[in-house]
Structure 1
Amino acid sequence: MTKTKKLINAPEDIIPQLIRGMVAAHPDMLKVEGQTGRAVVAVDGPRDGKVGVVIGGGSGHEPAFAGYVGRGLADAAAVGNIFASPSPEQILDAARAADGGAGICFLYGNYTGDVMNFTMAAEELEAAGTRVAQVQVADDVASAPAERRGERRGIAGDFFVFKIAGAAADVGEPLARVQALAEKANTATLSMGVALGACSLPQTGKPNFEIGDDEMEIGMGLHGEPGIRREKLASANAVADELMQMILTEMAPAQDDRVAVLVNGLGSTSLVELYIIFDRVKQVLDERAIRIHRSWVGEYATSLEMAGVSITLMRLDAELTSLLDHPCRTPALTVGAVAAGNTAGARSVRHAAPAVVRENKLAAQQMLITEGSVSPVIFRSMMRLAGEQIIAERDWLSELDGVIGDGDHGVTMEIGWKAVMAALGAAPETETIEASCKRMAKAFLDAVGASSGPLYATAFLRAGAAVSDRQNLDAYALAAWLAAAMQGIRDRGRAEPGDKTMVDAWAPAVEAATAAAGGHDELAVMSAARDGAETGMKATADLESRRGRSAKLGARSRGHIDPGAASTFLMLRGMAEALARART
């Protein structure tokens, strides 16, 4: 496979350097707040009495998301890793900086990781007394039929939904109205895209999918998720006609209706091509006597260096038109003339919800059950080897994900498990297994914003709680740890066996481990879990995905192993191997 070239320093430093460069380039508009260093905040945006508008998502889509932070638009953006949602703590930093006492409105694309992470952040803010509203942008016509619109992905339509919500908040609308107007914009916005060439993750330097030199993928997602079909490359007019046909068929605008148009490049498509596409878009609209109120052509929601284009239309009424025309000033979008904000004496944190302190409180050692061969030291060695084995198979996991997802699962796992291993290295020798599980959960969640972050964090927390009365684990306690971890994943991800997710490896692993516990041998329990996970992992190739990004593929997801199930197998294999080593 061809290696790609990027002007970077080190893959692990990309996001901090991106943020530093962006803020340094726009110091009159942007600043960074919060301990995570991932909250990009408008210099003159947040203010007392105004609803705080917080957007966010994975990096690699620039200028989305931080490029839309500024007066009259978003007050703050939480910046995730490449193609991965920001973590709850990063979102909380953005929310605290944007909080003017009138509530927070979260806006983000409809992806599993974003939904879970923003929801976890909202739960923490609400527990501390801050009102939170959420809107999940779902404009991608290709990703689900109209009757299942709630399942659609958010792509370039973010541009319009963010603009409307930011304007509503800027004119002083209360939280419920800001949310309602954002939902109205979401309903009025439809997008379709086409990809001509792949992008590549900086960590791998490899294209995240393969496409023929004479092919295009209709409906491809913003992360490289497969679209609705692949066909021979057609002319610009033919492509524009097809994308517009799908949008207009659903939108069904009448003569003299007004729309806003966005022709968006995905990263490496020239303006020559984009303007040719726009030319055809206008011809199609003119033929139907549909008026263009405003239009934008350029790169507004990219996918690294992917070649391709998306077309977005928002159907306007008087209310949406007024908000669309409302002035804003951000690095990526300026509309009208914005009055200078009063930043004198501005506080860096407004009505900040107090951070929840997550401390590992050691249980009284003398009260814990000591039966069993899996001591805290051995347990931590099991988790470290699990991480090592997952990291060693990073490229394989990413390749699996590239076929049915966005190609970053291996990279995400590497980031998360490196954080876990570093956290375990700082654990005192006397730390209990429950406390180590809390340590792992915080490390994984803080490091990983993709769906894996909240899933693994919930798994570790539930598993630790299940053995909170123990110093060591015996066979039954080890099986209980595994069962609680699986239940945490099922509850957080709302996935069930047969959905083609990591649960399809966890379920047979737990079943086998529970059956083996009667033999009172901890190694037999872990070996059974490993074997069950391997069987479940392989069986996912025959399943059709019903959860996550690959659910949009339908039958096209068959024939491929689920990457989450694969990483589950690697984790349990590593744990079993470490326990076997401890026996020798």
Structure 2
Amino acid sequence: MTDDIRTKKLINAPEDIITHALEGMIAAHPDMLTIEGATGRAVVAKDGPRDGKVGVIIGGGSGHEPAFAGYVGRGLADAAAVGNVFASPSPEQILDAAKAADGGAGVFFLYGNYTGDVMNFDMAAEACERLGIPARSVQVTDDVASAPRGREDERRGIAGDFFVFKIAGAAAEQGRDLDACVAAAQSANDNCRSMGVALTACSMPQTGKLNFEIGHNEMEIGMGVHGEPGMRRGPLETADAVTDELMGMILDDMALDTGDEVAVLVNGLGATGQLELYIIHRRVAQILAERGVSIHYAWVGEYCTSLEMAGASVTLLKLDADLKNLLDTPCRTPALTVAGALAPKGTRTARHHESAAETTRIDRSLLKTDGIITPERFRTMMLAVADAIFANRDWLSELDGVIGDGDHGVTMDIGFAAVRQGFDTPRDETITQMCDRMGKVFLDAVGASSGPLYASAFQSAGAAVSDRLNLDAAAMVAWIEGLSDGIVARGGACVGEKTMVDAYVPAVNAAKAALGAGADITDCLNAATIGAKEGRDYTATIESKRGRSKKLGDRSIGHMDPGAASAHVILATLQKAVSAF
């Protein structure tokens, strides 16, 4: 790939793409959709939420249009939380959607089974419970390529979202209670299987670079919807041969007998036209007919895309009487309409969701003042980190494109840009207060997996030095250890799983060893940086055991983990900044 080649997109500025797209969407469907909440990322059905009805909230990253906001409307989702491109929405954005959808009967979150989505939606569910809103979740796990039978809970959600969302929305529309809505969605998920193929890569709007390289005569079987590599790469084959392989994997994984009935989705990934998709569906229908399985209804088109990626996926939903009834229940959304009479709108009462404000007062006279890192110098260090992340953004995204979805550098830059903006106006804060604020603004700006992980990291690091006004060598090491502890506590990763933990843990160990040998703050940070680099480089030698790259197995060997790389960038920048004081 030539470094100076950029893909073409009809956008204005990369930082405005979500805002502008949502403005255009609302302008196109003013009868169906509106935006509610302070974050501006909760798309709400105008005639969906109502008193006594379970609120159905879907969500995920942008770049999959019409998923997710396209499925907001009467009879389907009441609201969608919209994240950045390929990144989960933040808990605050999800909470805005939940508040808008709350009809007093509880809320129900549905999303694909990805680390960032799970963490952010879990945090939003916890926030809902604190507000007195019962909240439940179902993760979609339809992708047979991402984990074998017996480990279905590890599978990622791809185009099967379409069916699971439809079933859940219909159950709520019929007036079922929260437990019954969860049961219906879980039944749909248990009976849904998908498999995809990619022919080309996609590109992040912020970088303009293809996420990965693939030859003009190659295809990637088992591709996810974020540009993640699939099960295998091979030569491009005919439509029938590709469909046979996709269907073979699906049918090997689900029990379909003569006389069974299914719903079918043949889904384009963004740059594959109807002409090709109908050819795929032709073969799908032939295979099912040969098995004596009938198609109740089929959808062919773009329903869950991956920016401009060329390729397609096939999804089957095995139907029973209840799933069939729910699938046929009328709905009206921008992306999906099932014909039929919609029930009367009903009433919607404005609800007030307030939680008690927590104000932490700090008596500065009790804080330790020895150490060269003052709050003002700490602010300077964090601004330097923001600059370094921006400078390395494309490199970090390229690392992620090889084994993930190509957005790590972009999301880290968005998070630290929010930190930079928050520090534009200096405040009279302690380092602990700065860390708490950094965690909140980072999480609100990013979501994804980096959002919860770094929000927890900053909060934990701040707590580790809460007795200090200034930081000396021991406090600086404690702060770094707090970062690592917060990430481990939130994400649960261990050393050797090919994550940022593989950089942070050896950094902490090296810094503590240096401190024990009497090193000053600069030398402790230098030791941490060396430890992080060794850990970063180690990740290239091991197989991934966590996150999206886990699905690659030994194909992940030879590639550095982007989270470990960004951890090294952060620590190296801190060391350089302190050396200048």
1:489 maps onto 2:482 in alignment: no
Match of 2:56 among 46, 53, 56: 53
Matched residue SS, 1:147: coil
Once the two structures are TM-superposed, the CA of residue 253 in structure 1 deviates from its matched residue by: 0.3
1:354 counterpart residue number: 354
1:49-448 superposed matches below 5 A: 49-339=52-342, 341-342=344-345, 346-347=348-349, 349-350=350-351, 352-355=352-355, 357=357, 361-428=360-427, 430-448=428-446
2:551 counterpart residue number: 552
User: 1:343, 1:27 → 2: CA distance?
Assistant: 19
CA contact (8 A) 1:362 1:435 kept: no
User: 1:342, 1:295 → 2: CA distance?
Assistant: 29
Assess, with a 3 A threshold, how the Cα gap between structure 1 residues 358 and 403 changes in structure 2: closer, same or farther.
farther
CA contact (8 A) 2:271 2:311 kept: yes
1:534 counterpart residue number: 533
CA contact (8 A) 2:44 2:72 kept: yes
Q: Deviations over 1:326-375 (max 9, x none)?
A: 0000000000224265377x45x53x43256576x451111111111111
Matched residue SS, 2:176: coil
1:574 counterpart residue number: 573
User: 2:57, 2:407 → 1: CA distance?
Assistant: 25
| AA at the equivalent of 2:354 | P
Q: How many residues align?
A: 577
CA contact (8 A) 1:43 1:343 kept: no
CA contact (8 A) 2:331 2:342 kept: no
CA contact (8 A) 1:114 1:450 kept: yes
User: 2:342, 2:196 → 1: CA distance?
Assistant: 36
User: 1:390, 1:356 → 2: CA distance?
Assistant: 35
Q: Which runs of 5+ in 2 are unaligned?
A: none
CA contact (8 A) 1:499 1:544 kept: yes
Matched residue SS, 1:547: coil
2:497 counterpart residue number: 499
User: 2:310, 2:405 → 1: CA distance?
Assistant: 15
Assess, with a 3 A threshold, how the Cα gap between structure 1 residues 340 and 252 changes in structure 2: closer, same or farther.
closer
CA contact (8 A) 1:476 1:520 kept: no
User: 1:462, 1:482 → 2: CA distance?
Assistant: 9
Once the two structures are TM-superposed, the CA of residue 572 in structure 1 deviates from its matched residue by: 0.5
User: 2:210, 2:244 → 1: CA distance?
Assistant: 28
User: 1:489, 1:358 → 2: CA distance?
Assistant: 23
CA contact (8 A) 2:51 2:346 kept: no
Matched residue SS, 2:259: coil
Q: Deviations over 1:62-99 (max 9, x none)?
A: 00000000000000000000000000000000000000
User: 1:165, 1:342 → 2: CA distance?
Assistant: 18
1:449 maps onto 2:447 in alignment: yes
Q: Deviations over 1:83-129 (max 9, x none)?
A: 00000000000000000010010000000000000000111111222
Matched residue SS, 1:102: coil
* Identity between Structure 1 and Structure 2 (%): 64
CA contact (8 A) 2:109 2:121 kept: yes
CA contact (8 A) 1:537 1:562 kept: yes
CA contact (8 A) 1:44 1:341 kept: no
Q: Deviations over 1:29-60 (max 9, x none)?
A: 10000000000000000001110000000000
User: 1:161, 1:397 → 2: CA distance?
Assistant: 34
| AA at the equivalent of 1:278 | H
User: 1:357, 1:19 → 2: CA distance?
Assistant: 31
Assess, with a 3 A threshold, how the Cα gap between structure 1 residues 209 and 337 changes in structure 2: closer, same or farther.
same
User: 1:392, 1:252 → 2: CA distance?
Assistant: 51
Matched residue SS, 2:94: helix
User: 2:109, 2:478 → 1: CA distance?
Assistant: 37
CA contact (8 A) 2:107 2:133 kept: yes
1:39 maps onto 2:38 in alignment: no
Once the two structures are TM-superposed, the CA of residue 425 in structure 1 deviates from its matched residue by: 2.2
Matched residue SS, 2:323: helix
TM-score between the two structures when normalised by the length of structure 1:
0.97
User: 1:569, 1:338 → 2: CA distance?
Assistant: 58
Assess, with a 3 A threshold, how the Cα gap between structure 1 residues 146 and 199 changes in structure 2: closer, same or farther.
same
User: 1:112, 1:231 → 2: CA distance?
Assistant: 28
Matched residue SS, 2:540: helix
Once the two structures are TM-superposed, the CA of residue 130 in structure 1 deviates from its matched residue by: 1.3
Matched residue SS, 1:197: coil
User: 2:346, 2:14 → 1: CA distance?
Assistant: 35
Once the two structures are TM-superposed, the CA of residue 167 in structure 1 deviates from its matched residue by: 0.3
Matched residue SS, 1:54: strand
User: 1:340, 1:128 → 2: CA distance?
Assistant: 30
User: 1:278, 1:342 → 2: CA distance?
Assistant: 37
User: 1:23, 1:123 → 2: CA distance?
Assistant: 29
User: 1:98, 1:449 → 2: CA distance?
Assistant: 20
CA contact (8 A) 2:81 2:97 kept: yes
1:466 counterpart residue number: 464
Q: Deviations over 1:125-177 (max 9, x none)?
A: 11222111100000000011011111101000000000000000111111011
Q: Cα RMSD over matched residues? A: 1.2
Q: Deviations over 1:285-344 (max 9, x none)?
A: 111110000110000000001000000000000010000000000000000224265377
Matched residue SS, 1:146: coil
Matched residue SS, 1:86: coil
